[in-house]
């Protein structure tokens, strides 16, 4: 009877609201991506998918919450490239940053933009580099904590410019953007899902995009390589996770709903407006996601070790 009940429950998944934890503040890039995906997934699953923001400590607080949640498919994590950098950046965590999770599927890969407050004394990337070299720690660089994409981009930027800046950490780049627009911080590197509308409105000054090619959504913006920093290449991949031990058939069902979301016309259009695109359908699977994640940990490990900046 127990087996029968378990089978019946598995077949009926989901029976109630699903929570997706975003490990950064509301209104930021991860939140924006997650809300678009959650809405369509909810329609496919026939249940509401709620987004909960658990920001702080570069995404590790939200990730910890999910690693420690019941592995029943009702608590999920939508996290980004930080899943690839955190295992190296943090020597002590309250959860296992790799073994604590099942993968469900990749979601998207988002370009980043190097942006400054609109009245910063630099008109292009070369002038910005000169300004940072001159003023160094007087320049305030906003990020979302160690493990955030904005933190990783800052590491690459500092390596390329070879001058220390002062870091100002936030719970996400949503609130960091508010301060950059207000001019209380000077500089940030953040995903196009958060920066595109502000760049277009002239609320911040954009210097470069961190991809090999220019973006159709911001065609005037040079690549970092074109503008003089050839090493500055990074895109922020996102993936959906469940706690370790979540039954495979539940992860498969969630993966199917994710695939439905990623071929939704409205979502694709919205992603394009924000300078990104969904991954291919065969990447929105547990297997492709896990392989990509493992390769990404290996990719960033030497970069982080060379920078020598850890969380402890």
Positions touching ligand MLT (CB under 6 A) are: 24-25, 28-31, 80, 144, 148-150, 172-174, 190
Assign 146 to helix, strand or coil: coil
CB atoms within 10 A of CB 230: 11
* Choice between 80 and 290, CB closer to ligand MLT: 80
* Choice between 28 and 116, CB closer to ligand MLT: 28
Helix (H) / strand (E) element for 82: namely helix 82-89
* Choice between 20 and 45, CB closer to ligand MLT: 20
Instruction: From 211, 227, 36, select the one nearest 130 (Cα to Cα).
Output: 227
In angstroms, give the least distance from the CB of 113 to ligand MLT. Answer: 12
In angstroms, give the least distance from the CB of 16 to ligand MLT. Answer: 26
In angstroms, give the least distance from the CB of 26 to ligand MLT. Answer: 9
In angstroms, give the least distance from the CB of 249 to ligand MLT. Answer: 30
CB atoms within 10 A of CB 246: 22
In angstroms, give the least distance from the CB of 240 to ligand MLT. Answer: 15
In angstroms, give the least distance from the CB of 194 to ligand MLT. Answer: 7
* Choice between 71 and 275, CB closer to ligand MLT: 275
Structure-token pair, residue 146: 């160690």
Assign 211 to helix, strand or coil: coil
Q: What is the DSSP letter of 89?
A: H
Assign 281 to helix, strand or coil: helix
- Angle of helix 265-273 relative to helix 29-45, nearest 10 degrees, comes to 180
Helix (H) / strand (E) element for 257: namely helix 248-262
CB atoms within 10 A of CB 187: 27
* Choice between 97 and 174, CB closer to ligand MLT: 174
* Choice between 32 and 103, CB closer to ligand MLT: 32
């Amino acid at each position: 009877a127990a087996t029968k009940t378990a089978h019946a429950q598995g077949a009926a998944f989901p029976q109630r609201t699903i929570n997706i934890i975003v490990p950064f503040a509301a209104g930021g890039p991860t939140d924006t991506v997650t809300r678009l995906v959650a809405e369509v997934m909810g329609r496919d699953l026939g249940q509401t998918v709620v987004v909960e923001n658990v920001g702080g400590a570069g995404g590790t607080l939200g990730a910890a919450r999910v690693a420690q949640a019941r592995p029943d498919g009702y608590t999920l994590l939508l996290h980004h490239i930080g899943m690839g950098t955190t295992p190296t950046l943090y020597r002590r965590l309250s959860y296992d940053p790799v073994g604590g999770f099942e993968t469900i599927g990749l979601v998207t890969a988002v370009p980043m933009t190097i942006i400054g407050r609109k009245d910063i004394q630099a008109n292009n990337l070369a002038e910005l580099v000169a300004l940072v070299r001159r003023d160094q720690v007087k320049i305030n660089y906003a990020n979302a904590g160690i493990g955030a994409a904005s933190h990783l981009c800052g590491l690459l930027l500092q390596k390329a410019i070879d001058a220390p800046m002062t870091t100002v950490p936030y719970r996400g780049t949503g609130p960091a953007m508010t301060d950059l627009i207000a001019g209380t911080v000077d500089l940030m590197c953040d995903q196009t899902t958060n920066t595109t509308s502000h760049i277009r409105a002239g609320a911040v000054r954009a210097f470069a995009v961190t991809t090999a090619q220019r973006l159709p959504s911001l065609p005037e913006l040079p690549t970092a390589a074109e503008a003089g920093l050839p090493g500055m290449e990074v895109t922020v991949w996102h993936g959906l996770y469940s706690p370790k031990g979540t039954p495979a058939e539940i992860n498969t069902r969630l993966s199917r709903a994710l695939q439905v979301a990623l071929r939704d016309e409205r979502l694709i259009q919205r992603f394009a407006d924000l300078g990104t695109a969904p991954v291919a359908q065969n990447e929105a699977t547990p297997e492709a996601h896990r392989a990509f994640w493992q390769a990404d940990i290996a990719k960033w490990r030497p970069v982080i070790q060379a920078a020598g900046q850890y969380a402890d």
